[in-house]
Structure formats: structure tokens, C-alpha cells
Structure 1
Amino acid sequence: MAIKPLALQRGDTVGIVTLGSPLAPATIDARIAYLQSLGLNVVVGRHIYDENGFLAGTARERAEDLMSMFADPNVRLILPSRGGVGVEGILPYLDFGFIRRHPKIVSGYSDITVLLNALTQLSGIVTLHSLMLIDFRPDTPPYNFAQFFTATSLEAVPRALDNPPGIPLVPKVPGNVSGPIVGGNLTSLTGTLGTPYEIDTRGKILLLEEVHEPVNTVFRYLEQLRLAGKFRDCRGIVMGECTGCQDAYGKSYEDVINEFVVPLGKPLVTGLASGHGMYKAAVPIGAFVNLNADEGTLTWLEPAVAYI
């Protein structure tokens, strides 16, 4: 049974941490101000503004900031400032048993994918493939905020995970399967292979999305997952967008899906808007969902959060 963090309410406290690459202090401050305008209180990690090239402080320092948020009884939501690179480096310094006893909502995407799946696998808590601090700004599409605040509230389930209007999920390989959903950014997940934090897809629905990679690189990562047994072990596949990805050698992202993913024979839908694109559907990592690839639907079967 997955562990659910408590639902988010107006007036609750959000803990802001930088777990991978740095974000400009002025941007952090502007996003925090926007969060506060929504009626949320904010506390920040000691190393939130640290910069060391493409990393924000040492791995141990970033991990200490995260653990401090799990230890703070007032914090209800932990929101990374951004992803970038380096998140997997904090994992050896986390106390997964303590986290299991003090679950909080953790939301993010990009390299935060590594953390979301590690928390689900090693602490048993449901996490959220959804917004980060960088997304809290006035020009963020209302759809994204609606998704986020619905997922972190006690919205009744089951309910369909709806793409934005005019962007349907596309059925590719028929089948109707249920199971916990895992996954996120393809590059980040591939980087976990061969580590103690390798993604476990056994009996799961696997979500994949990517950003700014040529499609031959996307193919390479998909092949690595296949050779590692991740497609063999999963029950179904949800392919998200490949945001800003470039065609290569006359092949497109759609070609790679049709020529590589479809022949895997697992129930498959494509086109989920979650992750790096303009629109960000909220996906509860570790929660049970139903993938109906006959009709092109993805339905939450349980909430991502718990009653107070």
C-alpha cells in the first residue's frame, strides 16, 4: 500500500530546495513571491541560492536541505526550484526510512524524476510528476495550476487524467491494464540503470518524456531501457512529448515510437502533456492508474494525497 502525504491547503507551508542545477536568485525570489500571492507560506533551504558551475552546492548539502524539509513538521509540500543535472548525487545521503515516517508532497519533473521514483521505490510514498518552483509565474497556463492543485487536494477519484483541450491521448497499441505508474524524463531514468536507484518497472505503467534531444539519442536511451528489461517488465507504456527534440537522419520522434515502441507490443498511448512542454498534466508517481489503450484514456484509481 502506497503511503500518501497529507493534502495541501491554503495557508500551508511550502519548503523550497535546489537539488540539482542552480537557479538565479532573482528568479527564485520572484517565484517565491508568486507562491505567497497564492496564499502559501514559504521556507527555504540553506543552500537554495548556492552555485557551483552546473550544480547548486555539494550533493551532501543539497541532500541536507531536502531532509530538513521532511523533518520540518510545518512543511506540507516540498518544491524543488528546478531540475537540471546532479539530482541522483543526493540519493546516497537521504534517509529513506525517515522519509517514509514523515511523508510530504514532493513535486517536480526533469532531473527531479530520479528523486520522485527513488522516493516511491525506497520510501513507498506517492510523489507527483508536476510543477516545480520555476513554473510558479503569472504566464503559466491555468491548466497547469488546475492540474497541480487538483492533484494535491482531495479531489474524488477515479478520474481521468485529461490532456489540455485539443491535445488528445493517442492509442497506439490496444490493451487495458492497471498498475502503479512510474517514470518521467527518459535521460534521467536511463542514468539510474546499474545503480541502487534503478527504476523498477515490474508490473508498472511506464511514463516517458524527453526534451531537447535529437531523436537518434532518444532511440539510444530507449534501446538501453529495452536491454535492461524495463519494457519487458512493465504492463503498459505512456509516451509523453519530446519537447524541442530534433529529427535525425530523416527520422522523427513519431517514427521512433512507431518503429521501436509499438513493436514492443505493450498497451501504448502517446501524446501525454506532462513534463517539459508548455502544458503539464500532474501524474501521481507510485499511485494506481488504469491505462485503457483501446480508448486512449489514463485514469487515476486512487488519490495522490491523504485526508488530514
Structure 2
Amino acid sequence: MAIKPLALQQGDTVGIVTLGSPLAAETIDARIAYLRSLGLKVIVGRYVYAANGFLAGTDQQRAEDLMAMFANENVRLILPSRGGVGVEGVLPYLDYDFIRKNPKIVSGYSDITILLNVLAQLSGIVTLHSLLLLDFKPETAPYNFNQFFTATSSVTVPRPIVNPPGKRLIGKVPGNVSGILVGGNLTSFVGSLGTPYEIDTKGKILMLEEVHEPVNTVYRYVEQLKLAGKFADCRGIIMGECTGCEEAYGQTYEDLIDDFIVPLGKPLITNLASGHGTLKAAIPIGAFVNMNGGTGTITLLESAVRY
């Protein structure tokens, strides 16, 4: 049974960490100010502002910040500043048993994807494929905040994962299945294959999204997951957006889905607002969900948090 962190409430404390690439100090400060304007308290990790080339401090330093947030009894939500690259480097330095005993809400996307799934797999906690610190600004779409705060505060189930108005979920291959939801950024999963932290899709519902890759590269990553058995193992597939992904040789992302994902024969839903897109659904990783490829619906059967 999944371990759920306590729900987020007004006045709770958010712990800020930088786990991958660095983020400009002025951006961090502006986003923290906005969080505080929402009535949340904020504490900042020791290495949040660090910059070591394309990484924010060493692997050990970034892991130390994350573990400090799990150890702080006042922290209810751990919010990475951004993704980028390098999150995989912190994984060997985490104490997964301690995290299991001290669950917190952890939210993010992009390279944070690998952390979300590893925490679900090795610590058994539900995490959230949703907003980063980077997204907390006045111009962020209300849909995103509604999704985020509903997921982090509500225990009501069953509850549908809904796309924003005018952007419907598309059922591509019929089939009604239930299972633990895993997934996120395609590149991150491919990078973890062959490591102790590769994604476990056996009996799961797999969600994928990508950003800024030409379609022929996306094909390469999809094929690698296929050869690694990740599609054969899963019960169903949800394809999120491929944000800013350019056509290749006249083929689009939608063509790739039709040509290479549909023939797998697994229940399939596409067009989920996810990850790098402007509009972001809040997707619990490690929670039990139902997907119906015939009706194009995704339903949460358990909440991401508890009271």
C-alpha cells in the first residue's frame, strides 16, 4: 500500500531545493516571494543557489539538501527549483528507508521525473508530477494552480484527472485497466535504463511526455523503452505532450504515436496536459488509477495525500 504524505494546508512550510541544474538567484527569490504571498512559509536549502557549471553543487550537496528537508518535521512540501540535468546523480546518496518513515509531498517534472519514480519505487511514497518552484509566478495559468492545490490538499476519490477546457483527452486504443501510475519525462527514463533506478512498469500504467526533441529522436527513445520491455510490462499507456518537438522527415509526434504506440495494442490515451506544456495536470506517481482507452478518461482511485 502506498505511503501518503500529509496534505498541504494554509501556513504550511515549503522546503526549496535545487537538485539538477542551477537557477538564477533573482528567479529563485521572485518565486519564493510569490509562494509567501500565497500564505506559505518557505525554508531554503543550503545549496539552492549553488552553481557548479551545469549542476547546482555536487551530487552529495544536492542530496544533502533533499535529505535535510525530509528530516525537517516542519516541512510539508519539498519543491525543487527546476529540473535540467543531474537529478540522477543524487539518487545513490539518499536514505530511502528514512524517506519512507518521513514522507513529504514532492512535486516536479522534467529531470525531477527520475526522483519522483524512484521515491515511489524504493520508498513507497506517492509523489506528484506537477509544478516546480519555477512555475510559481502570477502569470501561471489558474488551471495549473487549481490542479496543484487540489492534488496536494484533497483526499476526495474517485476523482478524474481533467485536461483544461478545449483540450480533451483522446482515447486511442480501447481497454479499461487499473494500476499504479508511473512515468514522466521520456529522456530521463531512457537515461536510467540499466541502472538500479530504472523505471519499473510491470503491471503499471505508464505516462510519458517529452520536450524539445525532434520526432526522430523521440522515436529512438520510444524504441529503446520498447526493447527494454517497458511497454510489454505495462497495463496501459498515457501519452502526454511533446512540447516544442519538431517534425522530422514530415512525421509529427502524433504520427509517431499512431505508427509505433498504437500497434502495441495496450489501452492508450493521448493529449494529456503534462510536464513541459504551458498547462500542467497534476499527476500522482505511485497512486492507483483507472484509465479507459475507450472513453478517454483517467480516474484517481486513491489520493496523493492524507489528513
Checking the alignment, whether the CA contact within 8 Å between 2:109 and 2:185 is kept in structure 1 is yes
1:111 maps to what in 2?
111
SS of 2:68's equivalent in the other structure is helix
Superposed CA RMSD in Å reads 0.4
Q: Quote the Cα distance in structure 2 between the aligned partners of 1:240 and 1:274.
A: 6
- TM-fit CA distance, 1:216: 0.4
* Deviation per residue, 1:33-76 (Å, 9 max, x gap): 00000000000100000011111000000000000000000000
Give 1:268 shift.
Answer: 0.1
- For the pair 1:300 / 2:300, whether they are aligned, the reply is yes
Which position in structure 2 is the counterpart of 1:59? 59
Q: Could you say which residue in structure 1 is the equivalent of 2:228?
A: 228
Distance 2:201 2:42 in 1: 35
- Report what 1:274 is aligned to: 274
Q: Which amino acid aligns with 2:12?
A: D
Name 2:140's counterpart in structure 1.
140
* Number of equivalent positions: 307
Output the CA distance in 2 between the equivalents of 1:36 and 1:96.
Answer: 30
Determine what percentage of the aligned residue pairs are the same residue.
76
Distance 2:77 2:155 in 1: 17
Helix, strand or coil at the partner of 2:153: coil
Structure 2 unpaired stretches of 5+:
none
CA distance in 2, matches of 1:54, 1:257: 32
Which letter maps to 1:16? I
Alignment of 1:123 with 2:111, yes or no, is no
| Runs of 5+ consecutive residues of structure 1 not aligned to the other structure | none
Shift of 1:202: 0.5
**1:12 aligned partner:** 12
Question: Residue in 1 aligned with 2:33?
Answer: 33
* SS of equivalent to 2:201: coil
Paired residue secondary structure (2:256): helix
The secondary structure found in structure 1 opposite 2:47 is coil
Give 1:152-191 correspondences, 5 Å limit: 152-191=152-191
Matched, 1:260 2:256: no
Match of 2:214 in 1: 214
Q: Quick one: distance in 2 between partners of 1:144 and 1:26?
A: 23
> Counterpart of 2:146 in structure 1: which amino acid?
A
Structure 2 letter corresponding to 1:230: K
- Is this contact kept in 1: 2:155–2:304, CA < 8 A? no
Q: Give the Cα separation in 2 of the matches to 1:6 and 1:224.
A: 37
Name the CA distance, whole Å, in 1 between partners of 2:155 and 2:63.
31
Q: Which residue of 1 aligns with 2:203?
A: 203
Secondary structure at 2:163's aligned position in 1?
coil
Q: Do the aligned partners of 2:47 and 2:62 also contact (CA within 8 Å) in 1?
A: yes
Instruction: Determine if the alignment matches structure 1 residue 96 to structure 2 residue 96.
Output: yes
Deviation string, structure 1 residues 249-281 (Cα, Å, up to 9, x no partner): 111101100000000000001000010000000
Whole-Å separation in 1 of the counterparts to 2:17 and 2:153: 22
TM-score (norm. length: structure 1):
0.99
User: What is the SS of the residue equivalent to 2:91?
Assistant: helix
Shift of 1:154: 2.2
Amino acid of the structure 1 residue aligned with 2:265: G
- The answer to whether the 8 A contact 2:172-2:267 is kept is yes
Quote the Cα distance in structure 1 between the aligned partners of 2:5 and 2:201: 23
- Aligned counterparts of 1:138 and 1:145: Cα–Cα separation in 2: 10
The SS at the match of 2:110 is coil
Residue of structure 2 equivalent to 1:77: 77
